[in-house]
Structure 1
């Protein structure tokens, strides 16, 4: 099949209407391979609904959503979209508290999960190397044998990001990763996401403007379900409409 677009993610005129309320209003957005984009906007701007559409949780009322130029996301369910390589991290970390950090990652590693394969499963050298690489990347190498319940909030966030990376996504959707973190954890998380974006695409929804500045990426501002402005953080911060929306002036 000939790709419709060269962009990894292509949203065109996406609208979502809930009982007369227009959560998304002709939203258009493209994300390229190995690009990180920050999405900001006031509450109710449509940020979560946009991610729901991308992951198949919500069907758009109108519009087109393509992944890798050939996959129509509007016709697929959540499991099939995840298999394509779209991973989503929600604001509250979801990890297996009673398992070790290493076992959390092992449970998430992309491998054959059929019943017979599980019965005969042995950890391979490749999986061991993959776990070591992930632990190094998410800054939890020294915590590998600790139970996830013992980690700090920020470390749990990193562990969940690692669990998503274990599934080898091409696109990672991350919702407010800096919420509840210490200043050091916030800085480390920005560095982690910048590192991830060298090899895969990352969309970060965030309210913390200092964190967005640390990411140093293109920013898309949503308002009432549409794109209000795009550019660097300095550019959108100087936009009169953005100032009006955020400050009510």
Structure 2
């Protein structure tokens, strides 16, 4: 019988440490998230938030520790970035990366999960099922009426939603989202909050964010990182009342 990463655990990061030129970016970090959970990660600059995501997605290899994934307790440290993405981990960076000269439809169509061998890509043609899936994703991210437009014509917030839609096309089990509210209008921020909350009903979503009001709207468990370790964890009210958090983060 295969042992999972723990009851109700999708991702288990345990005792991770990594140094760059003598600087310990991550220091004995442990972090768990469930299969349908929304989590916010906050902390001052240099706290290790980006490095944490780099390790989970295979971009950075830790000096020690383990990263386990899914029901089969898969060791992600033995996988490369592409294999980790195919396993169901999607990452959205702060600056949206979309094909600006292509339509919203084409961006989503290119992102659909499918066999990607050179031979199959050469002869692949979109079918009715693909068209329906693209329409479904566009509606989910609030772009149903934008499908014919070029991605470059979208607002900043709409580009963010398109990139989230492109990740959804890969059918991820975990989404890592970096500062989604940055540069958005108030209406876009509210729509993004609703989108992330909705997505977390069927998958895990980890949001790295500095905007405390945005985090409050997410109404989820919060993990505070400092010097590469977990400083505090709990509701936003709980962590913001912690004297250590006030001293190293909120008081600055």
- TM-score band (shorter)? over 0.9
TM-superposed deviation, 1:246: 1.6
**1:247 Cα deviation after fit:** 4.2
Gaps of 5+ in 2: none
The answer to whether the aligner puts 1:151 opposite 2:159 as a matched pair is: no
CA contact 1:221–1:228 (8 Å) conserved in 2: yes
**1:98 aligned partner:** 101
Q: Could you tell me which residue of structure 1 aligns to residue 34 of structure 2?
A: 32
Equivalent residues of 1:25, 1:225 under 8 A apart: yes
Match of 1:19 in 2: 21
Please list, as runs of the form range in 1=range in 2, the aligned pairs for 1:188-199 lying within 5 A after superposition.
188-199=191-202
CA contact (8 A) 1:36 1:202 kept: yes
What's 1:163 paired with? Answer: 166
**Aligned residue in 1 for 2:139:** 136
The SS at the match of 1:162 is helix
Q: Give the whole-Å Cα distance in 1 for the aligned partners of 2:250 and 2:123.
A: 60
Distance apart, 1:116 and its partner CA: 2.9
Q: Among 113, 122, 126, which residue is 2:125 paired with?
A: 122
Q: Which residue of 2 aligns with 1:174?
A: 177
Aligned to 2:66: 64
TM-score between the two structures when normalised by the length of structure 2: 0.96
CA-to-partner distance for each residue in 1:195-219, whole Å, 9 max, x for gaps?
1101010000000111101111000
Q: Distance in 1 between matches of 2:116 and 2:79?
A: 21
Q: Which residue of 2 aligns with 1:5?
A: 6
Aligned length: 249
Question: Distance in 2 between the 1:52 and 1:116 partners?
Answer: 31
Per-residue CA shift, 1:75-112, capped at 9, x if unaligned? 21111111100000000000000000010000000012
CA distance in 1 between partners of 2:5 and 2:121 (Å): 39
Please give the TM-score of this superposition, normalised by the length of structure 1: 0.97
Question: Would you say 1:111 and 2:114 are equivalent positions?
Answer: yes
The 5 A counterparts of 1:167-246 are 167-246=170-249
**Partner SS, residue 149 of structure 2:** coil
Separation of aligned partners in 2, 1:213 and 1:15: 29
Task: Tell me if structure 2 keeps the 8 A contact 1:91–1:177.
Answer: yes
- Sort the Cα spacing of 1:121 and 1:151 in 2 relative to 1 into closer, same or farther, 3 A: same
